[in-house]
Amino acid sequence: MNQEIERRRTFAIIAHPDAGKTSLTEKLLLFGGQIQVAGAVKSNKIKKTATSDWMDIEKQRGISVTTSVMEFDYNDYKVNILDTPGHQDFAEDTYRTLTAVDSVIIVVDGAKGVETQTRKLMEVCRMRNTPVIIFVNKMDREAKDPFDLLDELEEELVIQVRPLTWPIESGPRFRGVYNIYEQKLNLFQPSKQVVTEKVEVDINTEELDNHIGSDLADKLRGELELIDGVYPEFNVDEYLKGDVAPVFFGSALNNFGVQELLDCFVEIAPSPRPVTAVERTVNPDEPKFTGFIFKITANIDPNHRSCVAFCKVCSGKFARNTPYLHVRHNKTMRFSSPTQFMAQRKTTVDEAWAGDIIGLPDNGTFKIGDTLTEGENLHFKGLPSFSPEMFKYIENADPMKTKQLNKGIDQLMDEGVAQLFVNQFNGRKIIGTVGQLQFEVIQYRLENEYNAKCRWEPVSLYKACWIESDDPEELEAFKKRKYQYMAKDRDGRDVFLADSGYVLQMAQMDFKHIKFHFTSEF
């Protein structure tokens, strides 16, 4: 059992939009032998779209809208990749995904450096001490000076860095990278499908000059000396603690520098780590199975209208057709067809080990954050829903399709795409999201996946807060006074919809005994 758990590597790829996450994922799948030809996110010549962007709306826009799960074997390791959306409007999906992984690869655009979304995601990694590897992408275009980039990474991401490969120029002059970790020279040939050649050279001999010319060779020797002088030796333990981030340079689109990243990653990345539950810490090598649901996706297969709940196995071994306890319902359940993923394609599995991510068929029994065990009462926390900042009334545009619309809204809200509130005053449904793009995604998916039309009506609200109080009389008085602005969420909890920052501030001052929460987990 320990051997199985030791060879697992579960990680997420995160970055600002357009830094090249999905292109990097494609190339990793290419090396893992899962796909024969890499697809492109945006391209007129390559007709194959990226494997992890499988929704119609993702293919049209060239962005990722939902986290995709993919797994493959590489050397003796079993690698689970989660490709996350970079767009800020889907940040919540990415935050939840980070609770299910053991390490992270951050992709940074060589020309733009660190961008806002990268900073935010790095904060989440720091909170959990997740080990981080940085891949500086797009070196085949004009990029910033590598030393300036390293300084920027240290300052902006508040982490020490240590380069393990080093670029020789960038843009049209880009000649390749020197692999400091393996002490080999990798020469660049711009090609999207072929892997580049590696040459073993001693940097202090003329052999290097023959490959890249004497000017570049002298420059490279000087820079490598400088790196050894400035940056401490790479220490794997410090990386595992989350103190040091190794840095790789390359071009994901041209398949360059990706294999070095993968080779080093499977060697140094952590195998599954202990997970903290409310009751105790769960170790991956415990004999009994435990796991939690971190994501739900509807309509992976449009022909079946089915929902799939993604379960991260935290300890032990999951087996098919074995009874497990669903802690929230206190019911025993069996799963006859658990699946493993390659984005949209899935295959049935008989067993899964700690660190794996499996899909369980869901007909409304699961919510995000649910726990499955072999009988123990455990609760895994840390999967919040954030307070939305944009609100619209959702109205039915086709009265004949009321049933389809309600089913669609229910399933999409289960996925955590957005949040639904029902106004107590007029009974209208209000959808709250983090970003404008989510409204478009909801409307598109309702029409294409559920055959239901909706229209949006404006409502001017500032924030939604969950309220609770130890003083029932004061709570009653608050609800009476704010009657028009009270709503219930899907779990029947009281939500106050403040229409301005001033109103919220006054309410907090007038009602001292009421607690206002801005995430749904308290």
**DSSP notation for 279-320:** S-EEPTT-SS-EEEEEEEEE-SSTTTT-EEEEEEEEESEEET
Judge whether 277 lies within some domain.
no
The mean of the pLDDT values for the chain is 80
Neighbours of 389 (CB within 10 A): 13
503 pLDDT more than 50: yes
Between CA 114 and CA 129 the distance in angstroms is: 20
More confident residue, 438 or 516: 516
In whole angstroms, give the CA distance from residue 362 to residue 14: 27
Q: Would you say residue 379 lies in a domain?
A: no
- Shortest CA distance to 188 belongs to which of 134, 258, 246? 258
Residue 67's closest CA among 75, 76, 58?
58
Q: What pLDDT is stored for residue 189 in this prediction?
A: 67
Structural domain span for residue 252: 2-268
Q: Do 241 and 316 lie in a common domain?
A: no
Whether 454 shows a pLDDT value over 60: the answer reads: yes
The answer to whether residue 255 is domain-embedded is yes
Q: Which pLDDT score, from 0 to 100, does residue 39 have?
A: 47
Q: Which residue has the higher pLDDT, 95 or 244?
A: 244
Q: Are residues 331 and 405 in the same domain?
A: no
- Are 257 and 336 within one domain? no
Give residue 513's region: left, alpha or beta (phi > 0; psi -120 to 50): alpha
Q: What is the pTM of this model?
A: 0.77
* Strand (E) or helix (H) holding 157: helix 146-157
Shared domain check, 206 and 291? no
pLDDT of res. 302: 56
Q: What's the total number of domains in the chain?
A: 3
Please state the rounded mean pLDDT for residues 347-370: 82
What share of the chain has pLDDT > 90, as a percent? 9
> Are residues 46 and 92 part of one domain?
yes
Domain shared by 438 and 314, yes or no: no
- Judge whether 380 lies within some domain: no
Mean pLDDT, to the nearest integer, of 438-462?
A: 86
Residues 263 and 309 in one domain: no
Q: What is the CATH number of the domain that holds 511?
A: 3.30.70.3280
Domain-located, residue 456: yes
pLDDT 10s digits, 399-448 = 899 999 998 888 788 777 788 999 988 899 999 887 777 788 888 888 88
Domain for residue 275, yes or no? no
| % of the chain at pLDDT higher than 70 | 83
Residue 263's domain is classified under what CATH number?
3.40.50.300
- Is 264 in the same domain as 288? no
Tell me which of 31-35, 64-68, 308-312, 397-401 is least confident: 64-68
Does residue 208 share a domain with residue 60? yes
Between 236 and 364, the higher pLDDT residue: 236
Where among 373, 400, 418 does a domain terminate? 373
Residue 381, in any domain of the structure: no
Rounded mean pLDDT, 14-22: 78
Q: Are 188 and 176 in contact (CB under 8 A)?
A: yes
198 and 228 part of one domain? yes
406 and 304 share one domain: no
Together in a domain, 258 and 297: no
